[in-house]
């Protein structure tokens, strides 16, 4: 009897939301990396009740190493979690049969229409490729031409953001940004992933996926000397001595909590360093 070959596991579809339908984050990965048993329902990308396969589960775990908290509970997701959608590219594993390493690049690129259609539909602000080969395929001349309608033209050739042996690349296009990471595996160590944290945080903030960190008020160091053991008096002192209005003085005072003062019941206690 002929041997029956089971189809390669597919990536489960993510629940459609306004945030990922337009302007979200598209996570693209190679075919055949989904769970053995498809989930019975759809959910947001980080939903821990849905098996998305070992590769995506490992990738989701990287966010904690990047210092980016995510909600994994169904129904508790916020705008950040709802931004993510997935793409299996190419859609069929047979396209890559008997190809390894860079041999896969032209074969992936032969299905560039699959990526182009999703970019045109979703208009993501960031595409994360969980394989450098996917990113290389998207950057072949014929691929760039096909992606131009949705992505525009590349603004650079990509910059390496990893000091590790495994590569990681960030590239800016006119209408979106691309982030190429190594496919999660035993080789993507905690050291590799954690080393990407500053660059990934910057990329997510620059692309609008997360809010940029608030810059520290330059008057905070001088405001320490204005504190007294009374909130209202401290704010008045900051406003008078630093020549700022009451609203900014209050914000400066609150920013010093835990660093220059703390609350002890109904009292405010000034903290001194050294």
Predicted local distance difference test score (pLDDT) of residue 274 = 44
The DSSP element (H or E) to which 139 belongs, if any, is: none
Predicted local distance difference test score (pLDDT) of residue 151 = 97
Q: What are the tens digits of pLDDT across the range 24-35? A: 999 999 998 888
pLDDT at residue 218 tops 50: yes
Predicted local distance difference test score (pLDDT) of residue 2 = 44
Query: Which residues contact residue 55 at a Cβ distance below 8 angstroms, ignoring those fewer than 6 apart?
Result: 29, 33, 130, 183, 184, 185
CA nearest 248: which of 258, 238, 256?
238
pLDDT band of 228, cuts 50, 70, 90? low
Radius of gyration of the chain (CA): 24
Question: Which listed CATH number (3.30.1490, 1.10.3470, 3.40.470, 3.30.70) goes with 18-206?
Answer: 3.40.470
Bigger pLDDT: 101 vs 186: 186
pLDDT at residue 212 tops 60: yes
pLDDT, average across residues 195-219: 84
The overall average pLDDT reported for the chain is 88
Per cent of the chain over pLDDT 70 is: 88
C-beta separation of 155 from 175 below 8 A? no
pLDDT at residue 118 tops 60: yes
Q: Which of 10-14, 200-204, 253-257 has the highest mean pLDDT?
A: 200-204
Q: What are the tens digits of pLDDT across the range 261-272? A: 777 665 666 665
Q: How far apart are CA 161 and CA 4, in angstroms?
A: 44
Query: Which residues contact residue 178 at a Cβ distance below 8 angstroms, ignoring those fewer than 6 apart?
Result: 126, 127, 128, 129, 135, 138, 158, 169, 170, 171, 172
Domain ranges of the chain: 18-206, 220-270
Predicted local distance difference test score (pLDDT) of residue 123 = 97
Predicted local distance difference test score (pLDDT) of residue 5 = 43
Q: What are the tens digits of pLDDT across the range 57-105? A: 999 999 999 999 999 998 899 999 999 999 999 999 889 888 888 999 9
Bigger pLDDT: 111 vs 221: 111
CA nearest 21: which of 75, 64, 85?
85
């Amino acid at each position: 009897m002929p041997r029956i070959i089971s189809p390669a596991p597919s990536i489960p579809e993510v629940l459609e939301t306004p945030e990922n339908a337009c302007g979200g984050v598209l996570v693209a990965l190679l075919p055949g990396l989904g769970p053995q048993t498809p989930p019975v329902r759809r959910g947001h990308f980080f939903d821990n009740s849905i098996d998305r396969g070992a590769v995506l589960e490992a990738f989701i775990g990287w966010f904690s190493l990047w210092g980016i908290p995510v909600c994994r509970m169904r129904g508790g997701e916020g705008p950040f979690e709802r931004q993510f959608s997935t793409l299996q590219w190419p859609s069929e594993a047979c396209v890559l049969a008997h190809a390894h390493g860079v041999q896969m690049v032209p074969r992936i690129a032969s299905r560039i229409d699959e990526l182009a259609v999703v970019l045109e539909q979703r208009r993501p602000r960031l595409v994360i490729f969980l394989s450098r080969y996917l990113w290389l395929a998207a950057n072949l001349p014929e691929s760039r031409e096909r992606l131009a309608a949705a992505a525009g033209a590349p603004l650079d050739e990509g910059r390496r953001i990893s000091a590790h042996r495994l590569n990681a690349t960030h590239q800016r296009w006119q209408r979106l940004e691309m982030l190429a990471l190594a496919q999660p595996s035993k080789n993507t160590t905690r050291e590799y992933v954690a080393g990407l944290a500053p660059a990934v945080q910057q990329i997510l903030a620059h692309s609008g996926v997360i809010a940029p960190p608030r810059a520290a008020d330059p008057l905070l160091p001088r405001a320490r000397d204005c504190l007294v053991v009374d909130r209202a008096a401290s704010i008045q002192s900051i406003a008078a001595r630093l020549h700022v209005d009451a609203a900014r003085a209050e914000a400066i005072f609150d920013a010093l909590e835990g660093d220059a003062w703390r609350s002890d019941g109904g009292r405010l206690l000034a903290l001194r360093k050294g």
